[in-house]
Amino acid sequence: MTVQSVQRALTILTLFSHRRPVLGISELSRLMDLPKGTVHGLTRTLVDHGFLNQDEQTRKYRLGLKIHELGIVLAGTLELNQKAAGPCHQLSRRTGQLSRIGIWDGGSVVITLNTHPNPMPVLPHQVGPRIHAYCSGIGKAILAFLDDKTVRQYLSRTKMTAFTPLTITVKKKLIEDLKTIRQQGYATDREEAVQGLGCIGAPIFDRQGRVAGAISLSGPVNQILGEQTGVLAGEVLSTAAEISRLLGYFPAIMETVEP
Amino acid sequence: MTVQSVQRALTILTLFSHRRPVLGISELSRLMDLPKGTVHGLTRTLVDHGFLNQDEQTRKYRLGLKIHELGIVLAGTLELNQKAAGPCHQLSRRTGQLSRIGIWDGGSVVITLNTHPNPMPVLPHQVGPRIHAYCSGIGKAILAFLDDKTVRQYLSRTKMTAFTPLTITVKKKLIEDLKTIRQQGYATDREEAVQGLGCIGAPIFDRQGRVAGAISLSGPVNQILGEQTGVLAGEVLSTAAEISRLLGYFPAIMETVEP
DNA sequence: AAATAATGTTCGTCATTATCAAACAAAAGT
DNA sequence: ACTTTTGTTTGATAATGACGAACATTATTT
């Protein structure tokens, strides 16, 4: 049903990470518990297609540029990303804070856009490209507006570990939080993932009225979740609404036509 | 030697493009001239690992977010990209033009960074993420400083087709151009790839003194290749030098120690 | 300098494994 | 209502990819 060698090849790719950018055959063969010969055949094929690069000197492997190409294709393809880019930039420029777009993908959130007002050379991916839903503004904004079935699945499958003293680790607490988020329309994250980091997140809806993702504004807690919260939340919400509109979502029409 | 099923799976991935973001089983099976059942097994495996996403409604496939993740890992990994980000941003802000970073990869150039001064939401990838070396400022800047063997290989394997009336299509002409580039230290591209587009490119060297890639500044021809060319070229060259220095390249040391 | 260890790579055999073609259900188009 | 096209399943066949040992190189240690 599922092809073994392909499975193994893809696993090899996923073994490369920010922390382990370069790997050798022996290391891979150890990690995957497979004979070196087998791994060699797979890496060879991956190299042939540009998914891996082999250093001519060290003979070790790192991710190939083909992946970069595909990543570009994907990013340009993702409708949300395309439509959100402009508003997201404007939001971060108006507020002077980091604004991000995240997409729900099978139990966690993938950050697909990252804009900072003062051209910061290398954005510190503080929480990495894939982040937990239960402890982020983006994640909670999505969870709150996701269908019940998916949320229940998520809750049953997810282990909520604490990253800071303020991380929510009790499911009941989280469910309450989601209710509040639904009422006020936006989510807040007060140092739940990273110490000192505050965040406001709002959901983005697609043509069918389903959550497509979320947008967030984050920065130092006192700058985000203080007196200005009301203003900032308004900014985030209107930006989210604008993006939803670009995606073809018109709540007024939905409400009057649907029932 | 090279694994067939993996080869096929990777080919499937590369069939997705900006112009063809979503594909179905039948379409794939036609494109690859393989039975539908075979293709199904492969896509299934790709979906399982997040490299493809299957739309629950249409049952068709598009690239999966795993690729985005790997792309991030790769981008963060590429030393050049990391080091170049800051200087590249500054260059584009100072000059008000588009600045890009490209890396040589087996016969062509992959654009890994793209910075435009006025926060343009979606950068028009005018020449695509992978561009020809012989008709771009970045590409020629790299070629000019690449080792002879590689250049000869490139010349023999590459068909130079014209994109504009000014595209260089004769190898001898190109070789002359490369000599000029070596002398003045930077490359120019006057509407060789895109009508109306001018470009200045300068090479970037790594620790070992080899070309790691190049940086370019591009915009309307008259704004790039006119009276200001001297000033702009200076800017590009100093930026390139700065990045090379960040990569650990110190020409003074190289020259005195090497021979 | 010698010896050892660890690396990436090659090879031939065996049976596991993935391919194939045909048939299936479901949906889209006519 | 019919035809065509879609994605999916199946089961038999043999081609294919996995294996493990031996190879040549390079690092590391003695």
Residue boundaries of the structural domains of chain B: 4-68, 78-257
> Given A1, A11, A74, which is nearest B67 (Cβ)?
A74
The Cα–Cα gap between A232 and A230 comes to 6
Among chain A residues, the shortest Cα distance to B108 is held by: A65
Q: Give CA–CA dist A225/A228, Å, rounded.
A: 7
Cβ atoms < 10 Å from Cβ of B225: 19
Across chain B, mean pLDDT equals 85
B41 has a chain A CB within 8 A of its CB: yes
Q: Which residue of A has its CA nearest to B45?
A: A2
Strand C close residues, chain B 176-205, CB < 7 angstroms: none
D29 C1' to A28 CA distance, Å:
25
CATH of B4-68, one of 1.10.10.10, 3.40.50.2300, 2.160.20.10, 3.40.630.30: 1.10.10.10
Query: Which stretch of DSSP H or E encloses residue A125?
Result: none
Separation of alpha carbons A6 and B44, rounded Å:
10
Taking the Cβ of residue B30 and every Cβ of chain A, the question of whether any pair is shorter than 8 Å is answered with: no
Under an 8 A CB cutoff, do B72 and A67 touch? Answer: no
Query: By CA distance, what is A87's nearest residue in B?
Result: B121
Q: What percent of chain B has pLDDT over 90?
A: 50
Average pLDDT over residues B214-242: 95
B63 at A interface, C-beta within 8 A: yes
Q: Which CATH class is domain A78-257?
A: alpha beta
* pLDDT given at position B119: 54
CB contacts of A42 in chain B (<8 Å) are 3, 6
How many alpha carbons lie under 13 Å from residue B102 in its C-beta half-sphere? 34
Report the residue of B22, B68, B99, B111 to disrupt the A interface, i.e. the one with the largest count of A CBs within 10 Å. Answer: B68
Task: Give the pLDDT mean for B27-45.
Answer: 91
Do A13 and B70 make contact, defined as CB atoms within 8 angstroms? Answer: yes
> Which two structure tokens, joined as six digits, stand for A198?
């505050």
pLDDT over 90 (residue B237): yes
Q: Do A74 and B86 touch (CB under 8 A)?
A: no
**Which of the nucleotides lies closest to B38 (Cα–C1')?**
C19
- Specify the residue for token string 């500044």: B217
User: In b/e form, how buried is each residue of B142-163, taking b as 16+ CB within 10 angstroms?
Assistant: bbbbbeeeebeebbeeeebeee
Please give the share of chain B, as a percent, with pLDDT higher than 70: 90
ipTM of the complex: 0.75
Contacts of A72 in chain B (CB under 8 A): 71, 125, 129
pLDDT, average across residues B111-126:
61
Query: How do residues B72-93 score in pLDDT, each as one tens digit?
Result: 788 766 778 778 988 998 999 9
Residue B86 has its nearest CB partner, among A77, A82, A121, at A121
Report the alpha-carbon distance of residue B246 to residue B83 in Å, rounded: 6
Query: CA B241 to CA A85: how far, in whole Å?
Result: 32
- Whether the CB of B57 is less than 7 Å away from nucleic strand D comes out as no
Least confident piece of the model among B5-14, B110-119, B175-184, B250-259: B250-259
Closest chain A residue to the Cα of B88, Cα to Cα: A121
User: pLDDT truncated to tens, each residue of chain A (259 aa)?
Assistant: 789 999 999 999 999 987 788 899 999 999 989 888 999 999 999 998 999 988 776 788 989 989 988 888 887 677 788 789 889 989 999 999 999 999 887 678 888 888 877 655 334 443 346 788 999 999 999 999 987 777 887 887 788 989 999 999 999 999 999 999 999 999 999 999 988 999 999 999 987 788 889 999 999 999 999 999 999 999 999 999 999 998 888 876 554 433 3
Distinct helix (H) and strand (E) counts, chain A = 11, 9
Flag whether residue A103 sits within 8 Å of chain B, measured between CB atoms. Answer: yes
Residue B103, beta-bridge partner list? B110
Q: Least CB-CB distance to A69: which of B48, B62, B110?
A: B110
List, in sequence order, every residue forming a beta bridge with A217; answer none if it has no partner. A99, A200
Tell me the C-alpha distance between A107 and A181, whole Å: 19
For β-strands B98-105 and B61-63, DSSP reports them as unpaired
- pLDDT at position A114 is 83
pLDDT > 80? residue B111: yes
Give yes or no on whether B4-68 and B78-257 have one common fold.
no
pLDDT number for residue B256: 40
Binning pLDDT at 50, 70 and 90, where does residue B121 land?
very low
